[in-house]
Each structure stands twice: as C-alpha cells, then as structure tokens.
Amino acid sequence: MIKENIDRVKQRISSVCSRSNQNPHAITIVAVSKGRDLKEIQEVIESGITDIGENRVQEALIKYSEIRKIQGLFIDNLRWHLVGRLQSNKVKDAVRTFDLIQSVDSVELAGLIDRQAVRINKIQNILLEIKTSPEETKYGFSPKDAISAFKEIINFKNVMIKGVMTIAPLVENPLQARPYFKKLKETLDTINALITINSRLSIISMGMSDDFEVAIEEGSNMVRIGRAIFNS
C-alpha cells in the first residue's frame, strides 16, 4: 500500500513537472511519519524514500535509533527532517538527530542550535520557517522579518541556512493555497537577491498531501507528504 502510494505521489509530481516544465528529480519528497510506526517507516525506506520528516523531537529520537537497528535496511543516505516546532529544551537532542531543522522561527532559536552544534562539532542545516498567512496560530518569521533574521543568523558559524519553509493554512480548495506559496517564493528571491550567487539559498519547502501540486507549480523543490503516503 505504502509503495503504491509513493508511486502515485511520484506520478503526480511527474505530471505537474511536465506541465510546468520542471525536472521531477529536483524535487525532494519528505515522508512525514509523525504518529506512524517503525514498520511503516521501514516500508517507506524500502520504497526508495531517503528523507523522513518528524514533528516531535522525542518521537523522532526513538524512531531514529530503532530504525538503525533494523538489519539490512539501507539507511546510509537517510536524512531526518524536523518539521514541527522546536522548543529550546529539545535543541540538544534535535541537533544530535536531524540533518535538516526546517522549523527555525526565531533568531534566539538559531543561536541555541548554533551553541549545541558547536559542542558536537557539527554544521547544522536549517530552514527559516516563514509565516506566509496571517493566521494567529502559526509560527514563523513574517516575510519582512525574515530578511533581518537572515542577516543575523548567517553570523552563526555552525548553523547553515539552506532555504525557507512554510505551512499553508488549511483551505477548502488547494488552489486557494497558491498566494501563500507565491509569498514564500518571493521571500526566498528577496533574500537571494542580497547575497552572492554561490551562497544562494536553494531549498524551498512547501506543499503537503492536499496541495503539493500547486506548491510545485509555484516553485517548491521539497514537498512534505504524510497522508498521501501513509493512509490506505
């Protein structure tokens, strides 16, 4: 089932890419496995997915070490993504566990991540989470604040900003999410206009099960998919 779901997601990515003249191989699928068990994650990995997203540090930590124990599972190029909110008391565990922390929503948090990364001699890759909708409940930098935050965070030596991420608000029709995706792309372009070509931010993480096609049309190169992969 999971294998078939992944094939279907890949097909949908291929067709949106051919419609919009993009390379489907440039789009990373992050399988968001919050609440899913080891068996399901194992199946995802065996289906060729290399990027796993989790919402909670504690849950990820357990899965991370359990997945490593499964014999014969090819995990060498597996990457773990934190897509949920990171609390300051979990930063230490997060830095030990994740290849990409997608949910950095304050300069203070980036500073804490830097401090832990220095301790273990790691360069921690992060994304700036951008609040592209006015919803009160969402975290993230406003598109405007993202610029000044970027300028401060690039000074942290052990933190590497790779791009931006947003969570579009829940909408009835996925097409209604388009303005939020456009806003994220604009924010990325604004930041990139400030820096040299070699240091340009490349990752634009947007699009989930219901709206990833629209997100790709708007320039996403990293989609975070939960239900479309795991639901039967």
Ligand X SMILES: *Cc1c(COP(=O)(O)O)cnc(C)c1O
User: Please, which of residues 157-186 interact with ligand X by CB under 6 A?
Assistant: 167
Element (H, E) at 26: none
Give me 30's structure tokens: 């992050």
Q: Where does this chain touch ligand X (CB under 6 A) — which range of 117-125, 145-153, 203-211, 213-221?
A: 203-211
**DSSP track, 166-224:** --PPP-SSGGGGHHHHHHHHHHHHHHHTTS-GGG---EEE---TTTHHHHHHTT-SEEE
Cα-based distances in Å from 171 to 14, 121, 167, 177, 211: 24, 42, 12, 7, 9
Residue choice 2, 9, 16, 32 for contact with ligand X (CB under 6 A): 32
In this chain, which residue has its C-beta nearest to ligand X? 226
Residue choice 34, 162, 182, 200 for contact with ligand X (CB under 6 A): 34
In the complex, minimum distance from the CB of residue 109 to ligand X, in angstroms, rounded to a whole number: 16
- Please count the residues of this chain forming the interface with ligand X, following the rule CB under 6 A: 14
Decide if 52 contacts 80 (C-beta within 8 A).
Answer: yes
Residue choice 5, 116, 132, 209 for contact with ligand X (CB under 6 A): 209
Q: Where does this chain touch ligand X (CB under 6 A) — which range of 2-10, 70-78, 112-120, 207-215?
A: 207-215
Judged by CB under 6 A, does residue 208 bind ligand X?
yes
Q: Collapsing DSSP states into helix, strand and coil, what is residue 127?
A: strand
In the complex, minimum distance from the CB of residue 133 to ligand X, in angstroms, rounded to a whole number: 14
Q: Which stretches within the chain are classed as H helix? A: 2-19, 38-46, 57-69, 91-97, 107-119, 143-153, 178-192, 212-217, 227-230
Q: Where does this chain touch ligand X (CB under 6 A) — which range of 60-68, 139-147, 205-213, 214-222?
A: 205-213
Judged by CB under 6 A, does residue 61 bind ligand X?
no
Binding residues vs ligand X (CB under 6 A)? 32, 34, 55, 83-84, 167, 208-210, 224-228
